[in-house]
Amino acid sequence: MDKYQTYIEQIFERNYLTNQGPCVEALQKKLAEYLEVDYLLLVSNGTQALHVAYAVMGIKNVITTPFTFAATPGSLAFQNIDFRFSDIDESTFNLCPQQIKQQDLVWADAILPVHVFGNPCDVESIQRLAQLHNLKVIYDAAHCFGSKYDIGSLLKYGDCATLSLHATKLFHCVEGGAVIFKCKADFERAKQLINFGQNTQNIPVSAGTNAKLSEVHGAMGLALFEHVNEILAHRQQLFEYYCGKLVGVVKLQQWHPLGKPNGAYMPVLLGSEALLESVQKCLSNQGIQTRRYFYPSLNSVTSYRHNSKMPISDDISSRVLCLPMYYDLTKVDVDIICDALQIAIKNY
Ligand SMILES: *Cc1c(COP(=O)(O)O)cnc(C)c1O
């Protein structure tokens, strides 16, 4: 927090509060390096990151997953982009490339998978499908700060990937987001787009929006960045500790064999929705807050004008519960939570 104060004082001394100032530029550089990507653009939030990605990719017909946060399909609907859901894999909770209908692949010009809870999608199969059908790939990587795939960053996959840097995410700027592009030309277009479509002479040369991150948000990111390794390592340790304790108690999300968990979330899969509701109530009575990420399955949300049946996502979203996971959590807390969970299941 001291560090944050110092950055804030400097911002007001410079009197340079926004418009790609020194804090945002510095954070952008640090994050690109840290996440091992070439073209990372900071934006005002993770939803704007998606909007910017859609605009730069110029997509119209999108295949996406119903098992995600409302921002994924919501941003498509808001931009009047036509989309179809395709069901998930019951073990990984990610969009299942093998289940995408042939007719949808012919219809689509893009796929928008989500690396759910930071777990890498089947990026190889998705890449093959994209090549075969000439599709753009945009990953909603909102949960993937620090997620690894094989020996590198998960964020390198797709034509672009979006991050959320919201306060509830692993690393944040209070509000914030980023788009990671594979190619420089897309990155340059996005830079213009988030600044009203203006070129470097401030002439609007394309239709744009305002999706800039402010210096105050950048300062928050810079202050937190000094602790990013501790944050990530602690969460990864908690994740492993949880997993060890939960073997035989509940089912867990199956991680991609080449993926390394970042400890962003601690989802567990219960036997039924009735059990989930009972467990959630029981834990809540003991002051343990859990969240139903992601419920309901978004194919059932009528405002998206979709009423398709997605049996696997419908089922999984009715049974997944996210246990507490945050930096201040300790192993002793995890012991208490896991004991309470075990008792709640036994007493059901
Ligand atoms: C949090 C989240 C977003 C939106 O990010 P904001 O920064 O809150 O706008 C998008 N997609 C997923 C999957 C998310 O979890």
| Cα of 273 from ligand 1 centre, angstroms | 25
52 close to ligand 1 (CB < 6 Angstrom):
no
In the chain, % helix, strand, coil (3-state, to 5) comes to 45, 15, 40
Q: Within the chain, which residues score under 50 in pLDDT? A: none
Question: Which residues partner with 85 through β-bridges?
Answer: 64
Q: What is the pTM of this model?
A: 0.97
| Cα of 203 from ligand 1 centre, angstroms | 31
What is d(CA 191, CA 189) in angstroms, rounded to the nearest whole number? Answer: 5
User: Hey, which of 42, 47, 67, 160 would you mutate to test ligand 1's pocket, going by the most ligand atoms within 8 Å of its Cβ?
Assistant: 47
| Cα of 280 from ligand 1 centre, angstroms | 24
For residue 215, the model assigns a pLDDT of 97
- 3-class SS at 228? helix
| Cα of 282 from ligand 1 centre, angstroms | 29
Note the pLDDT tens digit of each residue in 179-192. Answer: 999 999 999 999 99
Place of tokens 């908690």: 238
Read off the amino acid at residue 52: V
166 close to ligand 1 (CB < 6 Angstrom):
yes
Other beta carbons within 10 angstroms of residue 240's beta carbon come to 12
Other beta carbons within 10 angstroms of residue 107's beta carbon come to 15
114 close to ligand 1 (CB < 6 Angstrom):
yes
What is the residue with the minimal CA distance to atom 5 of ligand 1?
46
73 close to ligand 1 (CB < 6 Angstrom):
no
42 close to ligand 1 (CB < 6 Angstrom):
no
Other beta carbons within 10 angstroms of residue 337's beta carbon come to 22
Distances (CA, A) of 276 to 10, 73, 111, 322, 341: 49, 26, 32, 11, 10
Contacts of 163 (CB under 8 A, 6+ apart): 46, 49, 141, 142, 144, 145, 155, 177, 178, 179, 180
Note the pLDDT tens digit of each residue in 293-333. Answer: 999 999 998 888 666 789 999 999 999 999 999 999 999 99
Contacts of 233 (CB under 8 A, 6+ apart): none
Please state the atom number of ligand 1 nearest to the C-alpha of residue 175. Answer: 7
User: Hey, which of 72, 78, 88, 179 would you mutate to test ligand 1's pocket, going by the most ligand atoms within 8 Å of its Cβ?
Assistant: 72
Q: Does residue 323 contact residue 266 with C-beta atoms inside 8 Å?
A: yes
For residue 308, the model assigns a pLDDT of 79
Chain center to CA of 85? 18
For residue 302, the model assigns a pLDDT of 81
Rg (CA), the chain: 20
For residue 304, the model assigns a pLDDT of 81
Note the pLDDT tens digit of each residue in 40-81. Answer: 999 999 999 999 999 999 999 999 999 999 999 999 999 999
What is d(CA 347, CA 14) in angstroms, rounded to the nearest whole number? Answer: 61
- 3-class SS at 137? strand
| Cα of 51 from ligand 1 centre, angstroms | 12
Q: Where are the alpha helices (DSSP H) in 67-214?
A: 71-78, 102-107, 123-133, 184-193
What is d(CA 203, CA 208) in angstroms, rounded to the nearest whole number? Answer: 11
What is d(CA 74, CA 47) in angstroms, rounded to the nearest whole number? Answer: 9
69 close to ligand 1 (CB < 6 Angstrom):
yes
